[in-house]
Amino acid sequence: MKKNLIDIRRLTGKEFSWMFIFMLPALLFALFLVKVMIEHTPMDFSVAMPAMVVTGGLTFAGFIYTIRQSPKLRYLALGGLTLFVSLTSLGLYLYFTHLQTQLLTCQVCGYKSLSEAGDECPVCFIPLTATFQAENGYESQEDLIKAEQIMFFMPVGREEIDFYQPDPSPEGFAKDKDWKPVTTAAEILEIQQMLPDSLQ
C-alpha cells in the first residue's frame, strides 16, 4: 500500500469527519437524483444508479488520496469534486426537464408520458402496439383505446369521473389539455352498472 493511502479500518475521529465531508456532495447528489426521478420521470434507475456509483466512487477516491496530503490539496480536491457534482446535477436536470417537454401523449389516459410512440405507458400500462392489440383480441386500435380507456377511468364505487384529474398523475406526468377521451362518463357508468357487484 502506498504511504499516502490510509487503512479505512483505522481512521481517527478527524479523518472520519473528513471522509463524511468528502462524501457529502455525493449524498446530496443522490438526494437530487431521487428528486429528479420523482418529478421528471424519463429518468429512471438505469441512469441514476451509475451516476450515484460514479460520484460516490470519485468523492471517496478524493478522500483516500488527499487525507494524508497537505490541507491545501485536500481543499482543492473537495472544491473540484463539489464543482463537478454541481455541474453534473445541473446538466442532468436541464436534460431531463427538456426530455419531459418532449414527451408524447398517451391516447388511452391522456398523460404526456411516452418517450416514443408504442412505448408502454407508465401511467395506464397500455402499449399501443399491433402485438398488444392482437394478443388482447382488439379488432382495431380505436377499439383498443376505447376499451382500455373505459377500464382506466372506471371509478371505484360511485366516484365522479373526471378525465383531466389528477394533474399531474401520481407518477408526476402532466395531463395533455388538448387530449380528448373517445368515451364519455355516461358510457363508463353504464358499463359499470352491468358489471357484477364484486367488480363495481
Q: Map grid coordinates 398517451 to a residue.
A: 106
Residue 105: its H or E element: strand 104-105
State yes or no: residue 108 binds Zn ion (CB under 5 A).
yes
- Which listed range, 14-22, 75-83, 115-123, 168-176, lies at the site for Zn ion (CB under 5 A)? 115-123
- Name the nearest CA neighbour of 62 among 48, 31, 83: 83
Backbone angles phi, psi at 127, to 5 degrees: -95, 130
State yes or no: residue 128 binds Zn ion (CB under 5 A).
no
Cell numbers at 155, concatenated: 371509478
Residue 54: its H or E element: helix 45-66
State yes or no: residue 33 binds Zn ion (CB under 5 A).
no
Cell numbers at 91, concatenated: 446538466
- Which listed range, 18-26, 80-88, 109-117, 184-192, lies at the site for Zn ion (CB under 5 A)? 109-117
Q: Rounded to the nearest whole angstrom, what is the least distance from the CB of residue 33 to Zn ion in the complex?
A: 25
Q: Check if the beta carbon of residue 196 is closer than 8 Å to that of residue 132.
A: no
State yes or no: residue 106 binds Zn ion (CB under 5 A).
yes
* 74 or 146: CB nearest Zn ion: 146
Figure out which of the listed residues 109, 144, 150, 188 binds Zn ion, where binding follows CB under 5 A: 109
- Which listed range, 77-85, 97-105, 124-132, 157-165, lies at the site for Zn ion (CB under 5 A)? 124-132
State yes or no: residue 103 binds Zn ion (CB under 5 A).
no
Looking from the CA of 185 toward its CB, the CA atoms found within 13 Å total 8
Q: Rounded to the nearest whole angstrom, what is the least distance from the CB of residue 167 to Zn ion in the complex?
A: 14
